[in-house]
């Protein structure tokens, strides 16, 4: 009697093991032939748009990395411009959020996110003639203009592909705020050129910190 029970249990376990192996085999086949090849959500989304979005993601992350380095520089004890530090910290976070928005959109459209390498930024931003505050803000203006141009190029790719939905996403979510960012940083450059490198920078920084804390900085 006991031997029969033992034999029955062993047969049952053996059968379950065989079934488990069969299920694993089927899952592996499904995984290779479906999920890893093509997104089920992809509709009228050309490879040129997918590649252009990945390029823009890399641009946003690179700008964010530079701004994070600027934040670290102005947060030093021997630089001590908390307004500039707060401004670039917020800017770094904003650019990273833009990259994440693009990643989410890529996934929504059924594309595949491919992250690229990020360039190592500088760590010192002092300038003998201009001073560090003006030099950093001029650098930021150049980056904001570059980002605007790249977003326009991304929009052109979507337009050439007749992808109206992608055009709408770029215009409403990315291009419109970018125009405001360029305008705002350009105004800061003008103000810093007026005040020079002395006490005026301290006053500018104090006002900038108050604006960042109040959420008035785009």
pLDDT tens-place string over residues 50-85: 999 999 999 999 999 999 999 999 999 999 999 999
**b/e code 117-129 from CB counts within 10 Å (16+ = b):** eeeebeeebeeee
Answer whether residue 189 shows pLDDT above 90.
yes
At residue 21, the pLDDT reads 72
Answer whether residue 97 shows pLDDT above 60.
yes
The dihedrals phi and psi of 198, each to the nearest 5 degrees, come to -95, -130
Instruction: Map residue 122 onto helix, strand or coil.
Output: coil
pLDDT tens-place string over residues 121-180: 999 999 999 999 999 999 999 999 999 999 999 999 999 999 999 999 999 999 999 999
At residue 216, the pLDDT reads 87
pTM value surpassing 0.85: no
- The 10 Å Cβ neighbour count of residue 100 is 13
At residue 4, the pLDDT reads 47
Query: Computed over its alpha carbons, how large is the radius of gyration of the chain?
Result: 27
pLDDT band at 200 (very low <50, low <70, confident <90, very high): very high
Q: DSSP assignment of 30-61, as one string?
A: HIIIIITT--TT--S--HHHHHHHHHHHHHHH
Tokens of 95: 């650019």
Let me know: does 155 contact 171? Beta carbons within 8 Å.
yes
Answer whether residue 10 shows pLDDT above 60.
no
Q: What is the C-alpha to C-alpha distance for residues 202 and 77, in angstroms, rounded to an integer?
A: 14
At residue 56, the pLDDT reads 99
Answer whether residue 2 shows pLDDT above 60.
no
**b/e code 146-170 from CB counts within 10 Å (16+ = b):** ebbebbeebbebbeebebeebbebb
Domains of the chain, residue spans: 1-37, 47-213
Find, among 103, 106, 111, the residue nearest to 38 by Cα: 111
- Map 15-34 to HEC letters: HHHHHHHHHHHHHHHHHHHH
pLDDT tens-place string over residues 15-37: 656 666 776 766 666 555 555 66
Find, among 130, 90, 49, the residue nearest to 213 by Cα: 90
CATH 1.20.1260.10 holds for 47-213: yes
């Amino acid at each position: 009697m006991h031997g029969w029970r033992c034999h029955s249990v062993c047969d049952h376990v053996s059968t379950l093991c065989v079934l488990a192996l069969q299920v694993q085999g089927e899952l592996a086949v499904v995984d290779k032939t479906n999920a890893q090849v093509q997104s089920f959500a992809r509709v009228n989304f050309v490879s040129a748009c997918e590649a252009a979005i990945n390029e823009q993601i890399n641009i946003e992350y690179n700008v964010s990395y530079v701004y994070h380095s600027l934040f670290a520089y102005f947060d030093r004890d021997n630089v001590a411009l908390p307004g500039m530090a707060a401004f670039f910290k917020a800017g770094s976070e904003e650019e990273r959020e833009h990259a994440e928005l693009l990643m989410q959109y890529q996934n929504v459209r059924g594309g595949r996110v491919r992250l690229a390498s990020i360039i190592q930024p500088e760590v010192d931003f002092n300038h003998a003639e201009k001073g560090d505050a003006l030099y950093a803000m001029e650098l930021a203006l150049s980056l904001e203009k570059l980002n605007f141009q790249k977003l326009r190029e991304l929009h052109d790719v979507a337009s050439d592909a007749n992808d109206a939905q992608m055009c709408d996403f770029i215009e409403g979510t990315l291009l419109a705020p970018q125009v405001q960012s360029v305008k705002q940083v350009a105004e800061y450059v003008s103000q810093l050129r007026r005040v020079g490198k002395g006490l005026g920078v301290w006053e500018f920084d104090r006002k900038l910190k108050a604006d960042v804390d109040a959420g008035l900085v785009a």
